[in-house]
Copies of this chain bind each other. A is one copy, B any other.
Amino acid sequence: MAHRLPFHEGGCKNIHGHSYQMTVEVAGEPDMNGMVLDYFDLVSIVEPLVKEIDHAFLCDNSDKLVKDFLKSSSLKVVFVDFPTTAENIAHWFFERLAEYFMPVKNIRELRIIVSETERTTAEVSGEIRISSTDSKLFAHQSHQNT
């Protein structure tokens, strides 16, 4: 997936990409078979969302320069309403997946980990049934391996 951060004063303002990796964790009480969620069910929920953005340019709607170019091209693009930092991408998947998991009664928490590289990762986690006023409880994390 390609992106850029127009506000960035370093190299990230240029068009570039990453081989993103995402980890999806669901937490809750296991069912009578001893599973929180069947791995195959997890894959069937996550995979279509990943395919949507695979090999696309993830374009912030406020990025007029790239938006104008991509709208007039036939290149794969997904428009979003946020700067495409790893933190925001993780938050976006948290919100989309939380909707899917909401009806699954034994699932209580969700954690999305988005790695741009082996050394840079963002993470968003939280309860999936909290009121919007509690949304600050989400833990946003950046980390660095040294």
Residues of A that sit less than 8 Å from B by CB: 5, 7-8, 10, 21-30, 33-40, 42-43, 46-47, 50, 82-85, 87-88, 91, 109, 111, 120, 122-123, 136, 139-146
- What is the total number of copies of this protein in its complex? 3
Bound state CA distance, A120 and B83, in angstroms? 30
Check B46 against A144 for contact (C-beta < 8 Å).
yes
Check B23 against A144 for contact (C-beta < 8 Å).
yes
A interface: dominant SS: mixed
Bound state CA distance, A28 and B122, in angstroms? 11
Partner of A7, one of B29, B33, B50, B123: B33
The 9 closest A-B pairs by CB, nearest first: A25-B143, A34-B88, A34-B85, A34-B83, A27-B141, A22-B146, A36-B142, A30-B87, A27-B139
